[in-house]
């Protein structure tokens, strides 16, 4: 009944219709709008020539014991509302697996909406992400051991050695392409990028908030040394001077939770990324 295949130019209208109904609140895809990024491939599930669902696979990497492998990042899995419950979504995911393998991907990853649903197709949750919220008056009093400076978002190459260190330490890490860095750093509305050390030993990507007594969120925080971590944590305290709290994420072996957690702060376990082996 269902057929799953790679996106073709003739599928633009049907693919765009699915994306419009599921992810854009009904807003149509404009004729001049790019429907797929250069680092992605679209897939559709159709019935009698009608596209009823779609998904996007991003070209990513997955670190394992310091080595990088091709990883298919599954995103924007969607089925038209009137076709939900028909098995179209399950057919799409089952059909994707051999197609991703044929495309040369060794593993696949995704951020699930429902973990239990994606387990049906061989995906399992791995690792931990901790969501940390620390009130301004509970941040540790640390010395800034390395000078903090701000750089323009276009100079993301200064951050890459820290990312390489994370990839050596944490399996599953994606080394970003230039386009992926551009999106991570805010796209056409660049975020603030702060780093410490020369060469860089830690960095933070931040959308600065101008309001008082709100939570200041850190988009991304990574480090390659202990003093880099401590220096950036000390910088968070200066960011929090007119804010209620600072929020950021750390891996499961969180230095903050192990060394600096204080009453009043909270650490929440977020849903882990899910991975599936495609080619042993």
Tell me the CB-side half-sphere exposure of residue 266, using CA atoms within 13 A: 7
Q: Give the containing element (helix H, strand E) for 15.
A: helix 12-23
Would you say the pTM of this structure is higher than 0.85? yes
pLDDT digits (tens, 9 = 90+) for 200-241: 999 999 999 999 999 999 999 999 999 999 999 999 999 999
pLDDT of residue 213: 96
Q: Give the Cα separation of 195 and 202 in Å (integer).
A: 6
Report the pLDDT averaged over residues 120-148.
95
Higher pLDDT, 128 or 237: 237
Query: Rounded to an integer, what is the distance from CA 11 to the centroid of its chain?
Result: 27
What mean pLDDT value characterizes the chain? 95
Q: Is the pLDDT of residue 68 over 90?
A: yes
Burial class (CB in 10 A: 0-12, 13-18, 19+), 109: buried
Report the pLDDT averaged over residues 144-156.
95
Three-class secondary structure of residue 103 per DSSP: coil
Q: Cβ–Cβ contacts within 10 Å for residue 267, how many?
A: 14
Burial 239-252 (b: 16+ CB within 10 A, else e): bbeebbbbbbbbee
Is the bond leading into 199 cis (omega within 30 degrees of zero)? yes
Q: Give the Cα separation of 26 and 220 in Å (integer).
A: 31
């Amino acid at each position: 009944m269902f057929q799953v295949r790679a996106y073709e130019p003739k599928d633009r209208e049907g693919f765009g219709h699915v994306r419009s109904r599921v992810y854009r609140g009904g807003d149509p895809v404009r004729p001049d709008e790019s429907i797929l990024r250069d680092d992605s491939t679209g897939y559709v599930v159709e019935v009698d020539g009608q596209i009823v669902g779609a998904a996007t696979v991003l070209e990513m990497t997955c670190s394992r014991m310091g080595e990088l492998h091709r990883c298919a990042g599954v995103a924007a899995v969607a089925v038209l509302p009137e076709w939900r419950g028909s098995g179209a979504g399950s057919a799409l995911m089952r059909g994707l697996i051999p197609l991703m393998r044929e495309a040369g991907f060794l593993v696949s990853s995704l951020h699930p909406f429902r973990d239990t649903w994606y387990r049906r197709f061989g995906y399992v949750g791995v690792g931990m992400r901790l969501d940390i919220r620390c009130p301004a008056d509970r941040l540790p009093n640390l010395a800034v051991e390395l000078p903090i400076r701000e750089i323009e978002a276009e100079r993301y190459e200064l951050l890459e050695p820290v990312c390489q260190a994370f990839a050596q330490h944490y399996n599953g890490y994606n080394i970003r392409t230039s386009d992926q860095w551009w999106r991570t750093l805010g796209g056409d509305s660049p975020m603030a990028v702060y780093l410490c050390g020369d060469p860089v030993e830690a960095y933070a990507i931040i959308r600065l908030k101008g309001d008082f007594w709100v939570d200041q969120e850190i988009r991304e925080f990574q480090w390659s040394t202990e003093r880099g971590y401590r220096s950036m944590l000390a910088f968070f305290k200066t960011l929090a001077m007119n804010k209620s709290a600072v929020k950021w994420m750390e891996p499961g072996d969180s230095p903050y939770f192990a060394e600096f957690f204080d009453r009043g702060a909270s650490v929440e376990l977020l849903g882990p990324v899910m991975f599936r082996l495609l080619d042993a």
